[in-house]
Structure 1
Amino acid sequence: MHADVERFSFDQGKHFLRVIQQQGRVTLPADGNEQVAILLHHLQALAEDVIGPYGTPSPRTGGIGPGFRIDAPPAGQEAGVFRIGQGRYWVRGRACENDTDGLLYTGQPDLPGPAIPVTGTWLAYLDVWERHLSAAEDDSIREVALGGPDTCTRTRLVWQVRLTDTAPPGRQFDKDDIRNHWDAWEAFLQPAGRGLLAARARRGKGPLEPCVADPAAGYLGPENQLYRVQIHRGSGEEGGPTFTWSRDNGSVVHPLLRLNGTAAVLRDPPRDRRTALPVGTLVEVVDDRSTLLGRPGTLARVKDIDDEGDDYTVVLDTDAGTIEADRHPLLRRWDHPDVDGGGDLPRRAADGALLLTAQDPVGWFTLEDGIQIRFQPPDTADVHYRTGDYWTFPARTATGDITWPADPSGGPADLPPQGVEHFYAPLALLSLVPGQPAAVTADLRTGFHPVRVQ
């Protein structure tokens, strides 16, 4: 999530039960966020232990409840379209709720413009993930009485009924095979090898004398920061994977009133130096559609600022097309400068991001102020970098270092992404014939009976 926080401190491996505030002590937002994360982890684990990996509440009279049941469409609907049953479906302890009776596949609120299948056998499944939302994407979060500043942000559970006609190696579109080997389908939909990253503050060139400081070593930034490294273009796309980075967790965003080509009209002008967009700044044009579909936004450099009239217009050096206001377009600021790399500096890709392939022999990139990162080489068959996956780490002036776990040898550990995590559940098998309604050949849902106290 792109929240403006000092750090993400929840660590499942520590098995903390609660956060305890002490009198007369400083309290940080990270403490409250960690308490929520601890409680949410326990609730989701409990739900999964009781319900199983997925399931919907079912009546005690028998059968499976209507939640997320896949049905043929009403008469007159386009071929290949089907209905999604109203109700609740739990996936890995997360409650997916469909509030619309007879929701059409093409009318899902969190899946814009889904492709309509034409023919063949298809698996309908649930794709579930957590989306971060700020007042830039949902204005109802903002308290207007404050005159502009935002307060807390939110996350919401996104569910999408998706289709696939491709089975994992060794698996087939068979009801029993899917149920008995769903772990293989999950690994196929979200490969385990999503790439690894290590991070560190630059080390000195040799052992230091006790009273000698190496001016080139450590974190040299003037402020405490939460760095974010994020995959922009994933593996398998032309040009190979790319990435972007931010020293503020990518939290500096500006909602747009409208976007037309290179002219981006901001809803509110930048309030201070931290949120400013000086000429040369790299920004990403993001909206609901690109976020929900997991696609990278258009990257551009700020070419000029026009604040003479009633509008505050950011002039971009790249045509970003036209995005309507109902898709909540915004500019997200990234911090890598407008220079091409070489040596330990990452090289710039054609899309404006940075090439993930390392340039120096040991694979370390230098971002700024002694911050260095190292990716797992992407040219390996079992490594699949995915758009939107990210890593964060705090850098602190008091220690001149960053916070990053160590491996057994004492060096920085190679870690998988912190998110975005997707969870999946099978719903139904569909048989499609051109020009005919979708036919459900198997209901793959699982039901459970609510616990009743005697």
Structure 2
Amino acid sequence: MRGDFTRDTRERARRAGVRSVLLQQGRPLVDADWNEQAGITADRAELLARHVIGQHGAPREEAGFAVSVASGALTVGAGHLYAEGLALHNPAPLDYAAQQPAASFPALTSILPNNAIGFVYAEAVLRPSSAGVQPFLSDPALGGIDPVVREEADWAIRVVRLTDTGFTAEQLRTAFATNQWPAIPQWRATTGGLDADVQTEAETTDPGPCELPPTAGYLDQVNRLYRVEVHASGAPGAATFKWAEDAGIEAGLRTSGAGFAIDLPIERAGAWFPVDAIVEIVDDARERAGEPGPMGRITSAVGQPLVIDGVPASALSERVRVRRWASMPVTIPAGNAWALLSKGVKVRFCAGHYARGSAWTIPARTVLGDIMWPPYQPADRTVTIGSASVGFYAPSEGRRRHAPLALIRRAGNGVLTVTDDLRDVFSPLTDQRAVDIRFDDTIAQLDAANVQQAIDALAIRDAACCTWHALPGEGWERVFDEIGANQNGKICFAPGNYPLAAPVRIAGKGHLKLVGAGPGTKIWCHGRAQALHFENCASVEISDMSIAAEQNFAERKGTGVGQRITGALDCSNCGPVRVERTVLLVSAPRSREAVCLRIQSGTLPGSGDCIIEDNDIVAGDLTSGILILDGADVRIAGNRIRPRTEPSARTTARWMGDKRITALLSRLAFSHALPEGDDATRPARRVNEQLFRQVSHTVSGTRIRFYTATSVTAANWATLIANFDRANPRVNNARWRLLMTRTVQRLWTNNGDVVAGSPSTMFRNLYNFVLRTVTPTIEVGIIVAGSRTAPQGSGSRVAAIRVSGNSLSGVATGIRIARSIRGGAGNERMPAPSAWVSDNRIVMAAVPFDMQRCGVQIANPERVWVTDNDILLETADPNADQARITQVRNGNFHLIETDGIRLAGAIGRMFTVRGNSMRECRVGVRVDTVAVTGTTATKQWIVADNAVIGAREPYVLDGRCKNRDNLSG
């Protein structure tokens, strides 16, 4: 701080961590010691403010410096603000344009043109408050003596264009909100440093008559406090500095005739401000704005009205002060060169930026013949000059402090508005509130900026957290009885087992949310293929648990409730359904009897809106994974679907005891029996001669031809037919085919023999091949289907189906999307959704099912996109059981009809099949359409950029398809 001091030790004390300055008895009291204690106290208060408040902040009850705009004028409000620990006070609202000097604060119209954003901030500086310009700071009885200098925190309001800061609005918001300040160019501080020394003997010149002998060191008989101050900002070679031998020589002005005179006794004015003295005109406004005043040499005699060469008389007033310097501004030398001040004292500057107002003080003492330098250790910067390391020191004064206030914007019509308040308002420690505490919303994504908003969002979203708690153990399901009709609530499940003896039906409730603690929360129904059945609920959300159902008895099937296909988790006529991060498991004794998740829409608001994400679907043998009926807006993403593992004997017993499965297996041995004159062309399903051979036989005078697996020889058939004809004489063709079908089906229940206990083993090879390839298989991984009759509230409001990012393995068919065709003339399509099937991995099981199998099958879509899927038969999967795959290949079962992607039925104007990979499917892409009334317009049917490897027929397409850039090999 500028003043008539012996020296300034505040920075040394700050660096050394001095706690207090204590006086000793009988010693003189020096101003530097008192000032050091004052500095320690002030520094401690500012450091505490920075640590507690941060770099900036405004107290909640007296928050000041709020930026507002009215009639195009920008104003900051009254109150308090902390800028880098420095307390600022604004006693009354201040208009930006009213700040002085006006030249230092450009008009807002020049800073912000239309459609531009401005950054508003406070800039604070510490300056001396002198009795020379503030009456009665010094007691008049002292005769004009100013015993102390008061340090005052002053400030100004700055506005810059946002683009000039080099940052975006969002970057500034984030930086200031997290107390990590950006390097704003307008806030650039001094990065260089100063080194001081005295001349050596070789550098001195001949002394004058009043000087000491020519020796090295400080060459004066008076103790001095040199002051070096940056006058103009910049780097060495461009920036300038000025210096004074006595840092505190300053005086105010008083009226004198037609002008102004120095307001000091004439003797002191003559000693301090003689003719030819260099002075600077300074005032509070210039110091507040960081602007230097005009400088020149005094040309008037002592006691006469003041005249300064180069300074107009209009610059003088009773509100200004004159400050003495020993030189006019000179350029800071580049290259670490020395600059001589006076009396043997010299300084040099290192490379860096020098901000205007930065200052250093250098005490010089006659008793030492030297200066008191360095001011402290270690140095702020060390530079190698020659072979020596030289320390340079940061300025001890002149640092300007900053606090962000707001972002403002001028619209295209010129109207100015405040868009962001950048102040951090803090509450007292005795009244901390959740609204005052910042909240990181990155993970929770609650759209909350503070803790109170996060709590409110959680309370609204989670219905005041958990409404009910379910505890492990029997009888836990009674928690659903506590939920009233149409009542909303959240049920929380702790880790543990939640057994069920029978399925639980939850009907007529409001919005329900079931949340577990992860897979360790296990709801398990033993004995039925259903665990939880929600019906007529406003919405259902389930997450973070395991739900399993195992049916271990035969139940008669029908069409009534409970006699249809059921799901371990089943939702019927409910509003929106969301299932996330859940393990779903189901098993049943017969095929087409159960699925892991079943959702059927109805007429409730939002019914048919389904989100199924990030679940583990474990489907028992011959069951399916996900079944969505009459979905409206369906998203199935990121799920993992696989068959449940089980002993081979159990799988075999299920296959051989299921009439549908034995019928499919029997078709391998006997199928497509017709008189040779009828449709003599080999059927499409039997085109592969490696797997199927044709056998002919005469029945009642008509030659019958049929197809059988190559593992059954012609001799086997001749023996069987001869025995069969003797047991069934004179039957017609139709009756013969029926009886033969029933006879062949018996081989699966008689260990490969058509008659129990018969020594005939003609089908034993086929039987053994099948047994060796049996493995748990999911019939369909994902099914999204529409009703044939389009009930109210289903197909008519379908919006979209998205199936993406799922992993399916061990499936007969991976994904099936089917919108049934409305009956009647012309095969009119129902209003069907747009369907997206993308980024799925589908591994189809290589098992001897004689049925159409597909990786992706879509029927009757209006618009469909099938993109970037990886589809393969298990025989192409390196992770498959290679011993079983060998048996599959030996029996030629890998040649059973398999389509990678199949689009069928009444297809609308647009579909795209692009970027898919298909391996070892019999057909890569098949497009099989039927005629549809009213669809003669041009089709946008595209099959492009696909790769089909190992297919018998890579692409079987409708002639209207655009077939381009597809790979086959």
Q: Is the 8 A contact 1:200 1:412 kept in 2?
A: no
Q: In the alignment, which of 267, 270, 289 is matched to residue 263 of structure 2?
A: 267
Amino acid at match of 1:320: P
Q: Structure 1 433/453 Cα, relative in aligned 2: closer, same or farther at 3 Å?
A: closer
Amino acid at match of 1:384: H
Q: Deviations over 1:70-103 (max 9, x none)?
A: 1222xxx4x2x22212221112222111221x43
* Pairwise CA distance, 1:171: 1.9
Q: Is the 8 A contact 1:167 1:185 kept in 2?
A: no
Q: Structure 1 301/271 Cα, relative in aligned 2: closer, same or farther at 3 Å?
A: same
Q: Which residue of 2 aligns with 1:7?
A: 7
* Pairwise CA distance, 1:68: 1.6
Q: What CA distance in whole angstroms lies between the structure 1 residues aligned with 2:256 and 2:407? A: 41
Q: Structure 1 453/286 Cα, relative in aligned 2: closer, same or farther at 3 Å?
A: closer
SS of aligned partner of 2:274: coil
Q: Which residue of 2 aligns with 1:210?
A: none
Amino acid at match of 1:216: T
Alignment root-mean-square deviation, CA: 3.2
Task: Name which of structure 1's ranges 135-144 and 19-28 shifts more when overlaid on structure 2.
Answer: 135-144
* Pairwise CA distance, 1:293: 2.0
Q: Which residue of 1 aligns with 2:118?
A: 122
Q: Is the 8 A contact 2:80 2:87 kept in 1?
A: yes
Q: Which residue of 2 aligns with 1:452?
A: 430
Q: In the alignment, which of 238, 241, 257 is matched to residue 240 of structure 1?
A: 238
Give the percent of matched residue pairs that are identical in Structure 1 and Structure 2: 29
Q: In the alignment, which of 69, 72, 78 is matched to residue 72 of structure 1?
A: 69
Q: Is the 8 A contact 2:54 2:179 kept in 1?
A: no
SS of aligned partner of 2:430: coil
Q: Which residue of 2 aligns with 1:318?
A: 310
Q: In the alignment, which of 318, 326, 341 is matched to residue 367 of structure 1?
A: 341
* Pairwise CA distance, 1:331: 1.6
Q: Which residue of 2 aligns with 1:39?
A: 41
Q: What CA distance in whole angstroms lies between the structure 1 residues aligned with 2:82 and 2:29? A: 35
Q: Is the 8 A contact 2:190 2:358 kept in 1?
A: no
Amino acid at match of 1:103: L
Counterparts of 1:294-309 in structure 2 under 5 Å? 294-305=290-301, 307=303
Q: Structure 1 321/164 Cα, relative in aligned 2: closer, same or farther at 3 Å?
A: farther
Q: Deviations over 1:208-236 (max 9, x none)?
A: xxxxx994311111111110011122228
Q: Is the 8 A contact 1:298 1:320 kept in 2?
A: no
Q: What CA distance in whole angstroms lies between the structure 2 residues aligned with 1:15 and 1:111? A: 42
Q: Is the 8 A contact 1:194 1:384 kept in 2?
A: yes
Answering whether residue 400 of structure 2 is matched by residue 417 of structure 1, we say no
Q: What CA distance in whole angstroms lies between the structure 2 residues aligned with 1:302 and 1:367? A: 21
Q: Is the 8 A contact 1:171 1:178 kept in 2?
A: no
Q: Structure 1 423/298 Cα, relative in aligned 2: closer, same or farther at 3 Å?
A: same
Q: Which residue of 2 aligns with 1:355?
A: 331
Q: Which residue of 2 aligns with 1:138?
A: 134
Unmatched runs of 5 consecutive residues or more in structure 1 = 60-64, 207-212, 337-351, 378-382
Q: What CA distance in whole angstroms lies between the structure 1 residues aligned with 2:177 and 2:120? A: 16
Q: In the alignment, which of 253, 268, 286 is matched to residue 250 of structure 2?
A: 253
Q: Which residue of 2 aligns with 1:281?
A: 277
Q: What CA distance in whole angstroms lies between the structure 1 residues aligned with 2:86 and 2:80? A: 10
Q: Which residue of 1 aligns with 2:907?
A: none
Q: Is the 8 A contact 1:226 1:395 kept in 2?
A: yes
Counterparts of 1:36-435 in structure 2 under 5 Å? 36-58=38-60, 66-73=63-70, 77=71, 79=72, 81-100=73-92, 102-108=93-99, 114-118=105-109, 119=113, 120-167=116-163, 171-174=167-170, 176-179=173-176, 183=180, 185-205=182-202, 215-235=214-234, 240-249=238-247, 251-257=248-254, 265-272=261-268, 275-305=271-301, 307=303, 312-323=304-315, 325=317, 328-336=319-327, 352-357=328-333, 363-377=337-351, 383-405=352-374, 413-433=391-411
Unmatched runs of 5 consecutive residues or more in structure 2 = 204-211, 433-969
Q: What CA distance in whole angstroms lies between the structure 1 residues aligned with 2:101 and 2:175? A: 25
The structure whose RCO (Cα within 8 Å, separation 6+) is larger is: 1
Q: Structure 1 325/331 Cα, relative in aligned 2: closer, same or farther at 3 Å?
A: same
Amino acid at match of 2:364: A
Q: Is the 8 A contact 1:259 1:322 kept in 2?
A: no
Q: Deviations over 1:302-360 (max 9, x none)?
A: 223163xxxx323322243513636x212211124xxxxxxxxxxxxxxx4222226xx
* Pairwise CA distance, 1:430: 0.2
Instruction: List, as ranges, runs of 4+ consecutive aligned residues in structure 1 with deviation greater than 4 Å.
Output: 108-113, 166-170, 180-184, 258-261, 406-412, 434-437
* Pairwise CA distance, 1:191: 2.4
Q: Structure 1 273/90 Cα, relative in aligned 2: closer, same or farther at 3 Å?
A: closer
Q: TM-score, normalised by structure 2?
A: 0.39
Q: Is the 8 A contact 2:225 2:362 kept in 1?
A: yes
Q: What CA distance in whole angstroms lies between the structure 1 residues aligned with 2:323 and 2:94? A: 33
Q: Structure 1 400/110 Cα, relative in aligned 2: closer, same or farther at 3 Å?
A: same
Amino acid at match of 2:108: P
* Pairwise CA distance, 1:114: 2.9
Amino acid at match of 2:187: Q
* Pairwise CA distance, 1:55: 1.1
Structure richer in strand, relative to its length: 2
Q: Structure 1 86/306 Cα, relative in aligned 2: closer, same or farther at 3 Å?
A: closer
Q: Structure 1 103/317 Cα, relative in aligned 2: closer, same or farther at 3 Å?
A: closer
SS of aligned partner of 2:341: strand
Q: Deviations over 1:396-439 (max 9, x none)?
A: 11111111127689876211221211111211110124775520
Q: Structure 1 58/167 Cα, relative in aligned 2: closer, same or farther at 3 Å?
A: same
Q: What CA distance in whole angstroms lies between the structure 1 residues aligned with 2:260 and 2:310? A: 11
SS of aligned partner of 1:303: coil
* Pairwise CA distance, 1:254: 2.4
Amino acid at match of 1:68: F
Q: Is the 8 A contact 1:168 1:185 kept in 2?
A: no
Q: Is the 8 A contact 1:111 1:292 kept in 2?
A: no
SS of aligned partner of 2:169: coil
Q: Is the 8 A contact 1:112 1:292 kept in 2?
A: no
Q: Structure 1 453/293 Cα, relative in aligned 2: closer, same or farther at 3 Å?
A: closer
Q: Is the 8 A contact 2:189 2:354 kept in 1?
A: no
Amino acid at match of 2:133: E
Q: What CA distance in whole angstroms lies between the structure 1 residues aligned with 2:123 and 2:396? A: 18
SS of aligned partner of 1:388: coil
* Pairwise CA distance, 1:202: 1.6
Amino acid at match of 1:389: S
* Pairwise CA distance, 1:181: 7.7
Q: Structure 1 440/69 Cα, relative in aligned 2: closer, same or farther at 3 Å?
A: same
Q: What CA distance in whole angstroms lies between the structure 1 residues aligned with 2:263 and 2:325? A: 19
Counterparts of 1:429-444 in structure 2 under 5 Å? 429-433=407-411, 436-444=414-422
Q: Is the 8 A contact 1:216 1:370 kept in 2?
A: no
Q: What CA distance in whole angstroms lies between the structure 2 residues aligned with 1:274 and 1:9? A: 31
SS of aligned partner of 2:307: strand
In the comparison of the two structures, how many residue pairs are matched? Answer: 407
Q: TM-score, normalised by structure 1?
A: 0.80
